[in-house]
Each structure stands twice: as structure tokens, then as C-alpha cells.
Amino acid sequence: MNYIRLLCKIPAKLRSVFILITAFLLLTGNGYAQLSGTYAIPGQYATIADAVTALNTSGVSGAVTFKVLTDHQETAPAAGILLGTPALNATTSVTNTITFQRDGMGLNPQIYAFTPGTSTTVDGIFKILGTDYVTIDGIDLYENNSNTTPTMRMEWGYALVKGQGSTPFDGCQYVTIKNCNINLNKANTASVGIYVGNHIYSITTSLTITAATDATNNCKFFNNTIQNAYTGIRLGGYAASTPYTLYDQNNEVGVDGANTISNFGGSSSPTYGLYAIYQAGLKVANNSITLGTGTTTTAYGISISTATSANVDIYNNTVQLASSATTTTLYGISNSAGGTAASNTINIYNNTVQNSTYATATSGSFTAIVNSGSAATANIYSNIVTGNSFTGTGAFTGIDGGGPTNLNMYSNYVYNNQKTGASGIMYLTRGSTAIVTYHSNNVYDNGFTASSGTSSCIIYGYYNLGSLRLKIFITTIFIIYQLPELIPEHLRF
């Protein structure tokens, strides 16, 4: 029976009521239908925030793409854009994907922070709450100039956190953030451009996750430009126990395209271009990291921290740093992941640490590349350390392979580095393990430029702290460079 015939059978007095009820059901039914297909912003949805509200309410029944017009601008709602609810997260899959992408020629769409922020720990512009298979392509985030105090300012640009605080905790899987500009305010020393945390969106209390899907896995962050955040990118997983399967797994920073991180740090809190902890199978590649002056404590270009028995790949990154500290260490690339050898491998290769300066150092030190993770094997090769200089009495370290079971150091270049203080030690290359293969390295034109006749100046071409079983071949080491008044017996290598 069609609608007209049915309507004719209803008494005239009730027809208007029936029509209203029918219209209401049709409208509300469409409003809560699962999303699938392509939508325009502005268009079917006025803002990205409106589209996220629809996703959270209805979920998806197929691949969904939101094409956001270039030059579009909006301000995030209070508490930020929150993508993720149990209703939505249950519907995403390898075929039911969610994509937000710029559409057209012009500036990327821009989302500005809400005002004011109310927290010193969890204010963020765009938070993904455990949702899987999300791609954000060319959507820029900006701090709001109306936020003028640390409490008001944002802690996070993009943040990937858990869906809920009890089992299933629901971590993000297969999230990609690419081609975005993120500009915060580093006056808030808790600010991070792209953030991954083992907690829910509203509090940073670490969760005790129980399943692999509770971790943040297989996510990619590339071709992003991050400026004026105190830390560029921070990935934080769960402090898992053996067999460490609840670490975050197989995340990538920059592999498919270079992230550019600059103008970070600049205060008395430790700062990082990239920091990662409790990450297994992590790849960090093709990133350009530049730190200007102003940081008065420990600073890192790249720091990969605790991840027991994990594999890590760090390659094709370029790091240039400046420090305003006096007694702390300035690190180009530091890896301490991979401890407790379990057939795991640390690869650090094709990186460049160049033109870094530490002009205010007194007893502070400079380390260009260091591996302190005691993996089964560490391969450190084809890296370049050049043009770096610092003053004071602290140690200069070019490349330190650390103490893995097997250390392979080859085809590295350490040259044209200067220590401008009156004394100290230069470890141009070094290790601290028993089994070392060291070949095809080129170490030259490094030295002290302001040593005094009474100060101890020591340069080591290669220095090993372990009970050494060393293979050295096809290696060039010329270590003397501008050494006025240097006592010859102080050359030890």
C-alpha cells in the first residue's frame, strides 16, 4: 500500500498529525544513519567539528571522506574536537575508513584553538579517542592568540589517546597525520605538536592496558611542519612487562615524507624535537629538526627512550641544534631503546648532525649521536657529524655506539668539529662493548682551537670502554686540527 492510499484511509482530523510524525521519523532517521561516501565542508557540514559530531553519533558504514575547502577556518569547540565514541569506533575498519582532506588550491584549512584552555596538561585542539583508520591530510592547527597564559594555552595540537579509561581501553590503530602545519605557543612548556599518550583525553593518569588493541599501533606522521611547540612530536606507550607485546607497535615518524620541526624549546625545561618511549618497531626517518638558542637545560633533537628488547630504525634525519645552557648535555640523536638483548637490532644510519653550537657551555657536553641501548646488534653507519662546535671543559662525542652485544660501525664521517674551550676531551668515535667491527670510517679535521699550554686536551679517534675484540680496517683517522700549544703526549687514541 503506497503512502497516498494510506493517507486517504486516515480520518481527516488525524492526517496532519500523521504527516508530522512521518516527517519527524524521516528526518531523525537520516540524521542518525551511518555515514558513507564523500561530504563537503562547508557544504553538507558547516565545520569539521560538525562532521565529527555526526561521526561520533552515527558511525560509518563504508569509507568516508570529508573534503574541506581550502582557506576554510574554524575555532575548535570547548575541550577541542573530540573524534571517537564507542558507537563510532565499533564501525571503523580497513574498508570503513575516515579521511579529512583539503580540497582545492590555496591555504590548508585551519582550526584555531578554543579559548580559554582550562588545564595545564590536557588542552588540545584535535583529539582522536581510540578511533582506527583515520587519515588527516592537510588540516592545519593554530594556537589562539587570545590564550595568553600556560593554563589558557594548548598542550596538544593533534593528540592520539585511549577511547576509554576501562577495558577495553581502545587505542588508535592505523591513524595517519600528514601534510599539516601545526603552530602552538612554546611559552607553554607542556606544548606538543603531535602527541600520543597512554591515557584518556581528560587526564594523563597512565592506564594498565591488557590487549594489543589497547596500544597505539601502525600510525604514521609525515610531511608535517611543526613550529613554536616546546616539543615537536611525543610518542608515549604503556610501560609493558615481558614479553613487551603491549608496547606501542610499528609507528612511523617521517618515513613516507619529511617532518620539519623548528623553533621548539627555549626555556628551562628539557626539550625534544622528537621524543618516544615504550615503542617497539619504531621508525624515525627523513625528519629535519632545528633548535634555536634559548634552552638553558638538556636538549635533544631526537630521543628514543626505554623500549626493552625492541627494534628501532633511525635514518636520514638532519639535526641542527643550539643551546644556551652551561652544565647540561646537548644531544643530536640519542637512543636508549633496545636494552636486554633478544635477537633485536638497532639501526642508526644516514643521519646528519651539523652546525650545532653550544657557546655558553662551561662544564656541559655535546653528543652528536649516541646509542646506549644494549641490543643484540647495533648497526651505526653512513652518518655525518660535521661543523659542530662548543666551548667549556665538557666532553665532545661524535658517534658513540654504546654497549650492544655486537656493534658494527662503518662508513661514518666525523669531520670539521671544534672544541673552543681551553681543555677537555673529544671522543670522535667510541663504543663500550666487546665485539666491534669498525671500518671505512673517516675521522679528520677535528680539534681544539683555544687550548692553553697548561690544560689537558685529549682527542680519541676511536675509544672503547669494553674488553675489546676489535676489527678495524679501511679507516682514515686524522685528528689534529688547529691545536695551539697542545702537548703532544696528550694525543691518545
- Give the pLDDT band of residue 487 (cuts 50, 70, 90): very low
Identify residue 135 by its one-letter amino acid code.
Answer: T
Residue 440, sorted as left (phi over 0), alpha (psi -120 to 50) or beta, turns out to be left
Burial class (CB in 10 A: 0-12, 13-18, 19+), 481: middle
Residues 310 and 280 sit within 8 Å (Cβ to Cβ): yes
Show Cβ contacts of residue 43 under 8 Å, excluding neighbours closer than 6 positions.
none
- Mean residue pLDDT across the chain: 91
- Give the pLDDT band of residue 230 (cuts 50, 70, 90): very high
pLDDT score for 226: 99
- Give the pLDDT band of residue 72 (cuts 50, 70, 90): very high
Omega into 77 within 30° of 0, i.e. cis?
A: no
Q: What is the DSSP string of 102-159?
A: EESSSSPPEEEPPS----SS--EEEEEES--SEEEES-EEE--TT--STTTS-SEEEE
- Give the pLDDT band of residue 190 (cuts 50, 70, 90): very high
Omega into 484 within 30° of 0, i.e. cis?
A: no
Beta bridge partners, 231, equal 192
By DSSP bridging, strand 260-262 and strand 225-227 are parallel
pLDDT at 29 over 70: no
- Give the pLDDT band of residue 456 (cuts 50, 70, 90): confident
Omega into 243 within 30° of 0, i.e. cis?
A: yes
The domains of the chain are located at: 38-248+262-269, 291-493
Cα 7 to its chain centre, rounded Å, is 62
Rounded mean pLDDT, 477-488: 46
* Grid cell in block for residue 380: 651505526
What's the chain's length in residues? 493
Identify residue 262 by its one-letter amino acid code.
Answer: S
Which H or E run contains 238? none
Neighbour count for residue 153 (Cβ, 10 Å): 23
What's the CA gap between 462 and 493, in Å, rounded? 6
What's the CA gap between 65 and 355, in Å, rounded? 43
Rounded mean pLDDT, 436-453: 85
Q: Which of 58-67, 337-346, 384-393, 425-434 has the lowest mean pLDDT?
A: 425-434
Cα 243 to its chain centre, rounded Å, is 24
Rounded mean pLDDT, 9-35: 55
pLDDT at 202 over 60: yes
Percent with pLDDT over 70 in the chain? 87
- Give the pLDDT band of residue 281 (cuts 50, 70, 90): very high
Q: Summarize pLDDT for 387-426 with one digit per residue, the tens.
A: 999 999 999 999 999 999 999 999 999 999 999 987 899 9
Rounded mean pLDDT, 287-315: 98
- Give the pLDDT band of residue 451 (cuts 50, 70, 90): low
